[in-house]
């Protein structure tokens, strides 16, 4: 995981509760986005800013099978 992805507890709660703000999966919790979609975003380039950092963290979480850790926070 990248050094800038060292999230604090408040950021993890925010990621767990954040919904996709646009596109095909608009309104879906980030943690519920299909893994292939998150990987597609990685290849295309994550958005700049906080949403990009959140999606990058979601990618790491999904690739490591850790979604269950965020579900209680949502």
CA 73 vs CA 29, 36, 61: distances in Å: 12, 23, 14
Residue among 48, 8, 14 nearest 30 (CA): 14
pLDDT tens per residue, range 21-65? 999 999 999 999 999 999 999 999 999 999 999 999 999 999 999
Per DSSP, what are the bridge partners of residue 29?
19
The boundaries of the domain holding residue 14 are 3-73
Confidence (pTM): 0.84
Under the banding of pLDDT at 50, 70 and 90, the label for residue 69 is confident
Write out the two tokens for 55.
Answer: 């999606």
Residue 10 has pLDDT above 60, yes or no: yes
Report the distance separating Cα 8 and Cα 39, nearest Å: 23
How many structural domains compose the chain?
1
CA 70 to chain centre: 10
Residue 3: predicted pLDDT: 42
pLDDT of residue 6: 58
């Amino acid at each position: 995981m990248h050094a800038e992805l060292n999230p604090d507890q408040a950021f993890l709660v925010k990621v767990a509760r954040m919904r996709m703000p646009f596109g095909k999966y608009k309104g879906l919790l980030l943690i519920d986005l299909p893994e292939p979609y998150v990987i597609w975003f990685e290849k295309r380039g994550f958005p700049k800013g906080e949403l990009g950092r959140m999606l990058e963290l979601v990618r790491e979480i999904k690739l490591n099978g850790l979604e269950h850790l965020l579900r209680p926070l949502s």
